[in-house]
Amino acid sequence: MKKIWILIAALLVLSGCGSMSSFSGEAESKVSTEKLQGANFTFFDVGQGDSTLIEADDGTTILIDTGRSDDKRILTYLEEKNS
């Protein structure tokens, strides 16, 4: 379990090291998903950074940095996934 949390921390640090293309003001949703042992990671481009959705195999779900309150991209993704 300790290895998973170290991996999560490393991925969060690396997700902040992306390109500067998020400053272009694009509203299109960019989503990437990675499956690792014990968890599924989904990364969203939310404008000036990335939001991370972590879904552990034990049912734990963590959403980090959702972006602006008026940006509905993550909410739309979660609603579509749940339907």
For residues 52, 14, 36, 40, the Cα torsion angle rounded to the nearest 10 degrees is 0
pLDDT interval class at 23 (50, 70, 90): very low
Of 77, 83, 80, 49, which Cα lies nearest the Cα of 64? 49
Domain boundaries along the sequence of the chain: 2-82
Of 1, 6, 12, which Cα lies nearest the Cα of 51? 12
- In tens, the pLDDT along 28-71 reads 557 777 787 889 998 888 777 788 899 999 989 998 887 777 77
pLDDT recorded at residue 33 = 77
* d(C-alpha 54, C-alpha 57), whole Å: 10
pLDDT recorded at residue 25 = 46
pLDDT interval class at 15 (50, 70, 90): low
Pick 23 or 64 by higher pLDDT: 64
pLDDT recorded at residue 83 = 64
Whole-number Cα distances in Å, 53 to 13, 16, 24, 25:
14, 14, 23, 22
